A and B are shown apart, each in its own frame.
Chain A
Amino acid sequence: MPEAVIVGGVRTPFVKAGAAFNQLPAQELGRLAVRELLDRANLDPARVDELICGNVASPVDAANVARVIALRAGIPRDKIAHTVSRNCASGFECVTQACDRVVSGRAKCVVAIGVDSMSHIPLFYPKKFADKLLRLSSARSAWQKLKTFASFRLSDLIPQIGIKLGLTDPVTGLMMGDTAERLAREFKITRDEQDQFALRSHQLAAAAWQENRLASEVMTVYVDDREGGVKPISQDVGFRADQSLESLAKMKPYFDRRWGSVTIGNSCQITDGAAALLIVEANTAREWGLTPLGRIRDYAYAGCDPTRMGLGPVFATSRVLQQTGLKLSDMELVELNEAFAAQAIACLRGFESPAGACAAAGCELAPLGSINLERLNVNGGAIALGHPVGATGTRLILTLLHELRRRELSRGLATLCIGGGQGGAVVVEIE
């Protein structure tokens, strides 16, 4: 059976929404990352069989954004491309699908890219307003037109905020933050614990950049500045080296304003970014002179209660460990996505004693063990670096591979929770 290896990876800086990447839509971020990926591998784009893109906030002007990215990156027209969405795990989904393609022999070389521009999530007119406009345009007589016109209300013009809709679970009606509040209460996670965790994320990210540990995975993006010039962006924008616990503690809860503990400060940031991996069949990689960065040993997705979607990593990790016969303690580094500090801490507790998690999910899990914080999100997580939804999964794998290599370790776990009540987990290995 063919084996898939990851031979290269690169990401754009992750930049908080509305900042330097404000003018770069997902297709632009994506094509930048993909072409840089191919350039760094010195790979002729014609050798790419397929491109798979994980993306959540589908740009309205680029349906199947994967195809747009592939063509704009110079991948020939006869190659295929499709876009996948598993909400927050879209960046995993593109990678795991790419590996499956190679393993099944359907492709030799696949580009997996996760990308989202949260700056570009549009505002909508309410559907009722659109309906009225439609009626107006189809009205024949002057009387009909007048009647339709008279039905217009000022409130019709209040836009619906796309990003808010996107972050609300349509089945349960809860916002993502509400699910984190629920976990905070059920796992008795204090506000201070959450703020401490957030502070840690900022400090680790700042240290990682300070010590130049992330530069090798990040490309420079040249953006137009306001003065008509061009500015190189080579670093993530969003982490705060000077973050203090006091200022985190001062923030008002955002989702449950009166009784809650989840704030903007201890949640992930809204961010723009792209991350790409090059996945090639092992023998082909050797033939082309490409050195593997590592490989995906196995992966798993698992479903859970949508109102406790943050616990997804516990179930997914449990499944992937079962599949591989490995133990949580075999994981030398762990990247656990920080959607919310409360959610991440809940997962850590869930790993130790899944009883709480299981009570909610109605299933039984054996305890997976505890994760040494020294091995967790060692270069900071989404609270500091941000969470461009579709790109995060890919970034976790990329960062994990780079850090394992840097530390000369061989095995790690990347896992994240998925809005809607799922979890994803990927075990990576380095030869």
Chain B
Amino acid sequence: MTTSMADGGTTTTLLTDAVMWHSELCGGGILKVRIDRRDKSVNALSKGMLEELERLIAEIRRDAAVRGVMFLSGKPGSFIVGADVTEMKKMTGGAEATELSKLGRRVFELLETLHVPTVALISGACLGGGLEFAMSCRYRIADDHAKTLLGLPEVKLGLIPGWGGTVRLPKLVGLIEALPMILTGRMLSGRQARSKGLVHDLVPVEALPFVGEDLLRAVIKLGTASTFFKRPKRSLVARLTESIPPLRNYAFRKAEGKVRHETKGNYPAPLAAIDVLRAGFRQPLSIGFAAESAAIGRLADAPVTRECLRLFFLQEDAKKPVELADIATKPISNSAVLGAGAMGAGIALLMAQKGIWTRLKDIKPEFLAKGIATARKWVKSDVQRKKMTPLQASDTLDRLRPTTDFSGFKQTDLVIEAIVESLPIKQQVFRELAEATSPTTVLATNTSSLLVTEIADGIPHPERIVGLHFFNPPLQMPLVEVIRTDQTSPAALATAFALTQRLGKTAVIVKDCPGFLVNRLLAPYMNEAGWLLLEVSDPLEIDRAAVAFGLPMGPLELTDLVGLEVAQHVAANMHSAYGDRMLPAPLWAALKELAANDPKAAKSLLVGRGSKKKLNPAVRKAIDKVRQSGTYSVPGGTPTREELTQRMIFPIVNEAARCLAEGIVSKPEDIDLAMVFGTGFAPFRGGPMRYAESLGFAKIVEILEKLANGRPRLTPSDALKQL
């Protein structure tokens, strides 16, 4: 034991040089440990911090005066956020990861077997290694802070919990509850954690330290706290499933099938997690721990993990773009949305949820009624799924106020327009908006097909006009493109960007150009599918190739999702903007003609679902017609899967290189981020630029040159050649 002098008073502390674990021995033998990394803004567990904890535990063992330990974070809104990812970034390989896993496990086992009672007082994020730490304490009390979240999100980084989490979580909450938490990284609020038995109790924020002390005193006196807590009752089905081996195996198989279906076998982590759970469930601890360490070693070596980690860091970096550094923004408290369609209502609800007072305008009460109905339905389902309390729901809806006029707009800090995609109408509305708002109100358009510059043309104070391109559905899609014109002021851009962060989105700043970034890169990909349809013998092979590459869906399915008519319209737009490299496949024109004669027949490219999915017979007819007309001579036979992939993916890379050269985005990482979060572009490949880099730009140029024979649209750009 050491005694140090601080501010003239005497406090007893176990580690004088502590970086993270600041202890103080109080009356009654209660050791208060304040978790508060001095060198970082968040509490993250690195190798050094684990070793420090090990030393603290050793001191506790040695010191007879300590009769109980409580752990409390010194950082508001954050308990322990998990393992130190910056350290993970520097890690060289599997062996090192296995070592770290073993260290953490050893320290947490020491904590678990400590002779005095321990309690984790959880306020704020308690994630990954943080939860594994908490699960090693004898008691866990959570508070009702809005940021209190408990979970094991390692799988999102391509990993699995490595410090005993896969063993301890099923022991606490049961296998059926543990599976989704470990396999998908699902997180629990304090309330949910209590009802599932992950924490012993939930208390108000300010009560946490007092409850911790009272609990320890009671346990020191009585030897147990069983009089305080009742274990939540678990359902009979869940208990039976876990106890009867054939049922348990069925549950594992079911989970595995689901994982395989969702990841298409591209992500090893959830499958490894299932193996570890299978090996360790209801077995001696050592077996589960051993399986866990072995899996960590394997996963840490996998390239997928590296890409997931890189994306994680890109996402973190994207929160603070360099171009907006040092630009102060006014916090947004009042906003408005024009257009109560699915997009407008979704954006408005999202803002209201985040505490922004939002006026929702449309031209007719009937349209507003529809938007309000959708918003109320979403909120209701959130309440039913316990994602929101009834009070939060009414708070949210209180902030969302429908209107048919511009009243209340003078107060707004930012307005988002999400009305019909027509340039003259949008220009008219922006003229009205300029009048109805204050000159400092940031005016944003959610257009996807028009140029922000054209919409802003002739509007007073064009420096406050930006694009905020949300993806549909806006409540779920994580990406927003923030579009700047040549006139957009840094302040307006920073305000619009700050809004995206408030809404919890990943945002990329994009220079105004037709299609912005994501749709511009998707255009050649979707168009190429139209050309490929003329060449392949099995049309579904196109989608299969794309999905096998790692896209969430193929171009044919995507075309149907956005609508054939919209897709044709976009293709024509892109052609007029970018010239013949976006030359629309002749099939689109043929389909348009077909639709003119028989609107019902040519509504989608594909018909049927699942195994019955096939090409729409009408489309087949159109393909035959184009082939016979001889306007397009097919070079070579039906393409192989490799060629299909190259012809769809390489044009994306080709166009991306152009975007970089034109300064549409400031760095290649933005392209990866936008494509991964905007389109689901193979995260395990790290995005198009990362993929191209790993393949070698020169090789892509070479292949494109070959493919461009007879297809000038595929010619590699100078920009690509220079990369």
Contacts and interface: CB of A to CB of B under 8 A. Distances in A.
A224 B411 CA distance: 29
A42 B369 contact: no
Contacts of B402: 220, 222
A44 interface: yes
Contacts of A38: 408
Interface residues of B, number: 24
Interface stretch (B41-49, B52-60, B370-378, B557-565): B370-378
A232 B359 contact: no
Nearest to A224: B376
B455 interface: no
Given A31-B398, A230-B376, A39 B369 contact: no
B366 interface: yes
A36 interface: yes
Nearest to B374: A230
Given A39-B403, A220-B402, A232 B409 contact: no
A35 B407 CA distance: 11
A229 interface: yes
A40 B403 CA distance: 10
Nearest to A46: B333
A74 B399 contact: yes
Interface string A69-104: 000111000000000000000000000000000000
A42 B398 contact: no
Contact of A220 (B365, B370, B398, B409): B365
Contacts of A231: 369
A43 B394 CA distance: 23
Contacts of B376: 224, 230
A413 B373 CA distance: 42
Contacts of A222: 365, 368-369, 372, 402
Nearest to B405: A40
Interface in B350-394: 357, 359, 365-366, 368-370, 372-373, 376-377, 394
Contacts of B401: 35-36, 39
A234 interface: yes
Nearest to B373: A230
A21 to B, nearest CB: 15
A220 B411 contact: no
A234 B404 CA distance: 12
B369 A232 contact: yes
Given A39-B359, A39-B407, A222-B402, A232 B365 contact: yes
A44 B368 contact: no
Nearest to B412: A42
B502 interface: no
A220 B402 CA distance: 9
Interface string A232-276: 101000000000000000000000000000000000000000000
Contacts of A230: 369-370, 372-373, 376
A65 to B, nearest CB: 15
A74 B394 CA distance: 13
A40 B408 CA distance: 6
Given A39-B359, A39-B401, A72-B398, A232 B407 contact: no
Q: Which of A35, A39, A40, A228 has the most CB of B within 10 A?
A: A39
Nearest to A227: B373
Nearest to B410: A42
B374 to A, nearest CB: 9
A224 B368 CA distance: 13
A44 B369 contact: no
B349 to A, nearest CB: 14
Interface of A: 31, 35-36, 38-40, 42-44, 72-74, 220, 222, 224, 228-232, 234
Given A39-B411, A42-B407, A43-B411, 5 more contacts: A35-B401, A42-B409, A228-B373, A229-B373, A232-B369
Closest CB pairs A-B (n = 9) = A39-B408, A232-B365, A230-B373, A42-B410, A230-B369, A40-B407, A222-B372, A230-B372, A232-B369
Interface of B: 357, 359, 365-366, 368-370, 372-373, 376-377, 394-395, 398-399, 401-404, 407-411
23 contacts: A35-B401, A36-B401, A38-B408, A39-B403, A39-B407, A40-B408, A42-B409, A42-B410, A44-B411, A72-B395, A222-B369, A222-B402, A224-B373, A224-B376, A228-B373, A229-B373, A230-B370, A230-B373, A230-B376, A231-B369, A232-B365, A232-B366, A232-B369
